[in-house]
Chains A and B, each alone.
Chain A
Amino acid sequence: RKEVEQDPGPFNVPEGATVAFNCTYSNSASQSFFWYRQDCRKEPKLLMSVYSSGNEDGRFTAQLNRASQYISLLIRDSKLSDSATYLCVVNALAGGGNKLTFGTGTQLKVEL
C-alpha cells in the first residue's frame, strides 16, 4: 500500500463548480497534514495545513478523519486559475529531519 494515495484525475470541471479531492495515508502515527499546489513545471507551494477540527481558507476547506486515515480538500466556486495539481502531504515520523511524504497528486482542470 502506498504511504499517501490520491486519485490522479484529471478532474475536468466548469468554472464555478465545487470539486472535492480525497487522500488516504497509511501511517497512523502521522501528525501533520497539508495540501500543496503544483502548477505545470513549477515547484509545489503550500496551499493549506489540515487541522484536526477541519479548516477553511476562503474557497478552500480541508478536513481530516484520523480514524479512517483520510484527508479531503473542497474547492468552491472554482476559478480557471485553480487549474493545477494538488498534492496531499503527510509527515513521516522516523528519526530526525521530520520528513514529509507526498502523494502523486490530483490534477484539476477548470474550464470555461
Chain B
Amino acid sequence: SQTIHQWPATLVQPVGSPLSLECTVEGTSNPNLYWYRQAAGRGLQLLFYSVGIGQISSEVPQNLSASRPQDRQFILSSKKLLLSDSGFYLCAWRAPLAGGPQADTQYFGPGTRLTVL
C-alpha cells in the first residue's frame, strides 16, 4: 500500500531564515506530487505541483520554491522566510492515471506546521 511521509512535523523559524521541508511517497511510481499551504482559518492553497522528476509548476508567486530530485521525493524550500509564510504545509500525491474520480483523488501527508517569528 502507498504511504506518504512529511518532516518535520512542526517547525519554528525566525524571519529571514531558510526553510526545507521534505515529502516522500512509498508504494507507487511516478506519482503526481503537490504542495499546499493552509493558513489559520483558511482553505488549502496549491503552491506547486509536479508530474515528474525535475518538473515543477508554480501556482502562486511567492518566495518559496520546490524541487523534485527523485521520483518519490518532493522538497519545499525558501531562502528567507517571511512572517506570512506561517501555516500548515501539506504534501499530497496522486496516481499518474488519466481521468475519472479514482485517478483524480489526492492523498495527503500528515503535514508540517510552520511558525515564523
Contact = CB atoms under 8 A, between A and B. Distances in A.
A97 B104 contact: no
Interface string B74-117: 00000000000000101000100001111111111111010000
A86 to B, nearest CB: 12
A44 B44 contact: yes
Interface residues of B, number: 28
A7 to B, nearest CB: 13
Contact of A100 (B99, B106, B110): B106
Contacts of A31: 99-100, 104
Contacts of B59: 99
Interface string B48-82: 01110000010100000000000000000000000
Contacts of A51: 101
A43 B108 contact: yes
B101 A33 contact: yes
B43 A104 contact: yes
A43 B104 CA distance: 18
Given A98-B94, A99-B49, A104-B43, A46 B32 contact: no
Given A43-B111, A45-B108, A46-B105, 18 more contacts: A32-B101, A32-B104, A34-B101, A34-B104, A41-B113, A42-B110, A43-B108, A49-B101, A49-B102, A91-B104, A96-B51, A96-B57, A97-B50, A99-B46, A99-B49, A99-B59, A100-B104, A102-B43
